[in-house]
Amino acid sequence: MFDIRSIFSALRRVKVSIYQGLRELEHYPKSMNDHHKIEEKEIDPCPAGDDNCTNLEEVQRLREEVKQLAAMVRTDELTGLFNYRYFAQALSLEMERTRRSGQPTCLIMCDLDHFKSINDVHGHEVGNVVLSHIASLIRKTIRRLDIPCRYGGEEFALILPDTTLRQGVRFANRLRLIVENSPVKASDLVLGIEASFGVDIYSRGNQLTEKEFVDKVDGFLYEAKQGGRNKVCHADYDKEEGVSSDEKEALTSAFDSQSD
């Protein structure tokens, strides 16, 4: 039987265990799958170190609650994708990874076309069904290492590590076609959905801040909206290849003159 000192010691260790778990909510995991599970620490089942601890069930329940809190902190409740708070953290870390490794980070911003009219005509419940449907399509399309987030409202942000601009644009167009050809069924309704996309990459040597990078990609998204919607707008491929249009023309002219 515990004396009062050992009971207080056990309670302190439970509090420390919970605090450590909550601190791990700030830990950056890598994908939506098993890589996002909080790492288990090798700790005694009983905070007091007693194999016959009568509080063992309660301790295990508290640890399970910590895991659930971890998922809630970084996940959007409606769509199951990562939330904006997590997006900001992940983008910053991926940009830092690019600065160290030299591998580009691709950012895709996606906005559903005419979504406001869906809410206005059919109601927000149908709008929520549409958002959940799009989130499901995104999860089925991305790779394990990609980071899908709900940016806000009907806008989504996808972080694609180690992805070139051409690869990112190809992926965005693929997702655009999947969305276009996957109507949403809600009650007796069948709704066709379209989306617009903006795409760019962050490369080593780039001086943009996280906000400037997001604003730039959002600018391409705006361009897609203004250009008729249901399309992908992106940065110039010359940026990725490291050769400007003028340099390409000069090289072509030089090659042609040598051929003559």
**CA dist list (Å): 82 to 79, 139, 193, 209:** 8, 11, 22, 21
Instruction: Specify the CATH number for the domain of residue 226.
Output: 3.30.70.270
What's the distance, CA 247 to chain centroid? Answer: 36
pLDDT tens track, the chain, 260 positions: 445 555 555 555 555 555 555 454 455 555 555 444 434 444 455 655 666 666 667 666 766 766 666 566 789 999 999 999 999 999 999 999 999 999 999 999 999 999 999 999 999 999 999 999 999 999 999 999 999 999 999 999 999 999 999 999 999 999 999 999 999 998 889 999 999 999 999 999 999 999 999 999 999 999 999 999 999 999 998 755 544 444 445 434 544 544 44
User: Is 194 annotated in the active site?
Assistant: no
Does 250 reside within a domain? no
pLDDT score recorded for residue 187: 81
Indicate if 232 and 194 belong to the same structural domain: yes
| Contact (Cβ atoms closer than 8 angstroms) between residue 106 and residue 90 | no
Indicate if 104 and 223 belong to the same structural domain: yes
Give the predicted TM-score (pTM) of the model: 0.72
Backbone angles phi, psi at 52, to 5 degrees: -105, 30
Indicate if 11 and 122 belong to the same structural domain: no
Tokens of 156: 């989504």
Backbone angles phi, psi at 233, to 5 degrees: -115, 145
Does 255 reside within a domain? no
Indicate if 215 and 89 belong to the same structural domain: yes
Number of residues assigned to the chain: 260
**CA dist list (Å): 24 to 21, 45, 50:** 5, 19, 26
Does 182 reside within a domain? yes
Tokens of 259: 């051929």
Write down the catalytic residue from 94, 154, 155, 240.
154
pLDDT score recorded for residue 97: 97
Indicate if 45 and 146 belong to the same structural domain: no
Gap between the Cα atoms of 138 and 15, Å rounded: 38
Indicate if 186 and 221 belong to the same structural domain: yes
Total domains, the chain:
2
Indicate if 19 and 100 belong to the same structural domain: no
pLDDT score recorded for residue 62: 67
Structural domain including 42 reads 4-74
Alpha helices in the chain (DSSP H): 4-23, 56-74, 84-101, 115-122, 124-141, 165-180, 210-226, 237-241, 245-259
